[in-house]
Each structure stands twice: as C-alpha cells, then as structure tokens.
C-alpha cells in the first residue's frame, strides 16, 4: 500500500485497511514516503531519520522515508515526491520482494507514483480516492483543481486496474480524467464498529451536541458558530462540545469574538479513541457542517454509536438518509440553525440501534475486508 500521506501526517485510513486485510491472512506492507512541511516541523523539532528504513508499526511492516516540501512549489513537490517514491519502491523490493499488487491511497501523488512503477515494472495498481474535493461541493472545492494537475491525474486514473472512491459523490469528477474505461467500485472507509458500538443514551434536561473535527476552513466553523448561536436564541438548553485541535490563532479569535452564547460551547481538545467514544456516548446528536468531505470517518463513528446527525450535503447519501440524518446545503447558516433546532426537538424519535446496524453494513470491518479481498483476488 502506498499512501499519498501517512503518519504522523494523517493516513490512519491506510493503516486501518492494511491491518484488516492482514488480519484475514494477506501480506500487506506499507511504503510510506512522508513529506514534512518546513512550517510545521522546525529544525529544532526534527527527530526524523532521513534514510529509508523498515519498522514494525501496529503489527504492520512499514518501509519509511521522510522528505521535505519546498514552500509554495506544489508541482515540483509532487513530482519530486513521486520520483522519490519510485526509487524508494526499488529499495523496498530488494528487501521485501516484489508485490503482486499496489494499492494506492489518493491519486496525487501516490497514484502518479504507482503509474511510474507500472510503466517501469508492470505491477498493477488500484487507487482508493479519499479527497472530498472530487465531490465539487462548493466553489472552494472547484478552485482546488488546477489545469497543470490534469495530465498526471489522467495517467494515474486511466492506467489503474480499478478505482475505489470512498463514496459515490466523487465518481463524476473522477470520470472526467479517464481516457479509457476503468472499473469504478465504491468501497467505504472502515470503522471499528465493535469499538464504536451502540449504547443507550440517558435523557437529561440539557441537549448535548457533539462535533469531532479540528479547526480548518473546510470544516466550516465559520458557518457552525453563527448557526449554533442562532439556535441558542430559540432553545436555552442546548450545549455544543467540540473535539479537535487548532482552536486558536487569528482566524479562530475573529470568529469567536462575535459569538454571543460562549457559555454553551466546550472545547475538549484532541482526544484519543476512548475519549472520542465517551463524547459520542454522552451526546444526543452529532453535527458536521463541512464544506468538503469524501465520507467523514468522524460521522461514521458517530452513526456507529447510534447517534443521528445534522450534516451538509457533502455526506454521502448512503450514510445520510431520513432514518439517520437531517441534511442541509453547504455554507447555509440559516438552514443549519433550523436543522439544529429541528433535531433538538426530535432526536429521541430516531432509532439508534437501527442507525448503528446500518453503518455496520456500510463500513464494518468484515464488509469492507470482504470487498477489498474480492477485488484483489479478481485483479491478481
């Protein structure tokens, strides 16, 4: 498996997929070329080795190398990363042998690197596309696609043996890059539904809402804060707990300065899996106001515990149905506020056990693993 980004810079989804197929008897290793930014990783904080090496992480064999990104130069960074990954793959094969199949996570730049490997060695590859930008949910998402990226995505997508979007929302944009027919097979991200299992909630006077996402533009806290403020004007007993990091800095301070009902907010900071589960178990419903999502693992985890959700239309229709969610347009403060009020009034009418069971059928380990292994078997 070749992720376009990996731990400590995200990529848990790749680790999770490698683990579940390994548990079923496949030998799945991870080739992780991790690109670090100068801004985040200052010289004084650098403890990463710069040579390639093998490590055992979470029961997986991971062949690693750390590199640096050059600020601003996106195209050069992408091509440099791809060429480095090709050379890293050659080193990997000398140590661990040649794989039957490469599973790439995201087309840029893992997909292009796999294309280079395919042209050189003939090893087939599949691409799981995670980026919610392909859903074209708002002007911001549309603007992220630049013309110079097109030939690299066309080569990567068109030469894959299969493309695996994590939701059907991504398919139309992906098809624009295909120069020949390639099977497109949606397969969900995996969620540990045994860990994030259903639990009955205690009904109290306060209505507790939970959000689980860090502070970034795409998570649309500039929409959530005023929407929740408006809802508080009409309902006095709602409270919002936000799990995530980076709630600081000038942009956050600007948004926070105009919030009227500050006493209704709680910021927990980043929590581990146990902490996130406790927050979900103690909530009455979940909210995700994002501008862009491919699928949202945090929403899957909430639904898996039996929580109904208020979400924007970026959440796939397979997840957000009338039995599980109230869906509103992207970037609509009034609609989001109305949905919060509506859900606060009727969250008790949702069948939490039914919601949890529905997610098991979409994102449970057994379901996702069976689909992946079936695909691998057919291709090999």
- Domain total for the chain? 2
132 lies in the same domain as 214: no
CA distances in angstroms from 66 to 34, 91, 200, 369, listed in the order given: 5, 15, 45, 29
47 lies in the same domain as 8: yes
Q: Is residue 158 part of a domain?
A: yes
211 lies in the same domain as 144: no
Q: Is residue 197 part of a domain?
A: no
Report helix, strand or coil for 99: coil
Q: Is residue 45 part of a domain?
A: yes
- Whether pTM exceeds 0.85: yes
Order of all β-strands in the sheet with 162-165: 2-3, 102-105, 125-129, 162-165
Residue 71 confidence (pLDDT) above 80: no
10 lies in the same domain as 62: yes
pLDDT given at position 216: 95
270 lies in the same domain as 368: no
171 membership: H or E segment, kind and range: helix 171-175
Bridge partners (DSSP) listed for residue 35: 67
What confidence tens digit (pLDDT) does each residue in 3-19 have?
A: 999 998 888 888 999 99
CATH of the domain at 165: 3.40.50.2000
265 lies in the same domain as 336: yes
pLDDT given at position 13: 87
What confidence tens digit (pLDDT) does each residue in 189-222 have?
A: 999 999 999 999 888 889 999 999 999 999 999 9
321 lies in the same domain as 184: no
How would residue 36 be classed by pLDDT, with cut points 50, 70 and 90? confident
Nearest by Cα to 330 from 378, 288, 272, 282: 288
173 lies in the same domain as 220: no
Q: Is residue 213 part of a domain?
A: yes
pLDDT given at position 202: 82
Q: What is the mean pLDDT of the chain?
A: 94
CA distances in angstroms from 128 to 12, 61, 78, 379, listed in the order given: 14, 20, 18, 15
Percent of the chain's residues with pLDDT above 90: 88
Q: Is residue 199 part of a domain?
A: no
Q: What is the dihedral of CA 7, 9, 14, 15, to 10 degrees?
A: 20
CA distance 368 to 289: 26
What confidence tens digit (pLDDT) does each residue in 259-289 have?
A: 999 999 999 999 999 999 999 999 999 999 9
User: Which residue has tokens 């806290």?
Assistant: 221
pLDDT given at position 41: 73
342 lies in the same domain as 372: no
Percent of the chain's residues with pLDDT above 70: 98
The region of weakest confidence among 43-52, 198-207, 303-312 is 43-52
Residue 101 confidence (pLDDT) above 80: yes
Find the domain containing 64 and state its range: 2-190+364-379
């Amino acid at each position: 498996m070749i992720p376009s980004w990996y731990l400590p810079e995200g990529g848990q989804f790749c680790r999770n997929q490698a683990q579940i197929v390994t548990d079923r008897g496949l030998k799945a290793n991870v080739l992780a070329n991790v690109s670090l930014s100068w801004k985040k990783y200052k010289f004084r904080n650098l403890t990463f080795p710069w040579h390639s090496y093998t490590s055992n992480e979470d029961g997986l064999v991971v062949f690693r190398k750390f590199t640096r990104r050059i600020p601003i130069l996106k195209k050069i960074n992408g091509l440099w990363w791809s060429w480095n990954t090709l050379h890293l793959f050659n080193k990997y094969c000398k140590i661990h042998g040649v794989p039957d199949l490469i599973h790439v996570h995201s087309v840029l730049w893992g997909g292009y690197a796999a294309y280079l490997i395919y042209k050189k060695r003939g090893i087939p590859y599949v691409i799981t596309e995670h980026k919610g930008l392909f859903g074209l949910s708002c002007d911001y998402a549309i603007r992220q696609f630049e013309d110079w990226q097109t030939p690299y995505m066309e080569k990567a997508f068109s030469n894959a043996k299969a493309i695996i979007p994590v939701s059907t929302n991504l398919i139309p944009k992906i098809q624009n890059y295909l120069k020949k027919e390639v099977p497109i097979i949606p397969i969900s991200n995996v969620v540990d539904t045994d860990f994030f299992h259903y639990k009955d909630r205690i009904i109290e006077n306060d209505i507790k809402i939970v959000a689980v996402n860090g502070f970034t533009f795409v998570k649309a806290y500039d929409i959530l804060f005023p929407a929740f403020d408006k809802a508080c004007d009409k309902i006095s007993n709602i409270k919002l707990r936000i799990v995530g990091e980076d709630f600081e800095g000038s942009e956050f301070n600007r948004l926070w300065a105009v919030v009227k009902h500050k006493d209704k907010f709680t910021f927990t900071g980043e929590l581990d899996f146990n902490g996130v589960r406790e927050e979900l178990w103690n909530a009455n419903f979940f909210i995700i106001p994002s501008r862009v999502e491919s699928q949202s693992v945090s929403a899957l985890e909430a639904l898996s515990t039996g929580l109904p959700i208020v979400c924007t239309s970026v959440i796939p229709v397979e997840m957000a149905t009338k039995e599980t969610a109230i869906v509103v347009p992207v970037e609509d403060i009034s609609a989001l506020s109305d949905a919060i009020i509506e859900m606060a009034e009727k969250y008790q009418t949702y069948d939490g056990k039914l919601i949890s069971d529905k997610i098991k059928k979409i994102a449970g380990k057994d379901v996702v693993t069976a689909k992946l292994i079936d695909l691998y078997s057919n291709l090999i």
